[in-house]
Amino acid sequence: MRRNLQTNIRSREHLFKINVRTALFRRKNQTQRAKPPRSFTHCSLLLLLLVDE
């Protein structure tokens, strides 16, 4: 059971990373000039990850 939970979490993290990458890519294509500081995006992504749990 525990191992299954671990793999589930891992796969969810993988999906999350893919989603984040595509979202960031899209945002970069849309607005080249208006981009928030890196730390801000990092913190918001961490918050999203925490909320998801």
- Token pair recorded at residue 8: 């589930």
The Cα 49–Cα 19 span in angstroms is 12
Regions of the chain with pLDDT less than 70: 1, 29-43, 52-53
**What local confidence, expressed as pLDDT, does residue 9 receive?**
77
Give the structural domain span for 21.
Answer: 2-52
Contacts of 35 (CB under 8 A, 6+ apart): 27, 28
**Dihedral sign for Cα atoms in the order 19, 23, 26, 28:** negative
- Token pair recorded at residue 35: 């981009």
Contacts of 39 (CB under 8 A, 6+ apart): none
Total number of domains constituting the chain: 1
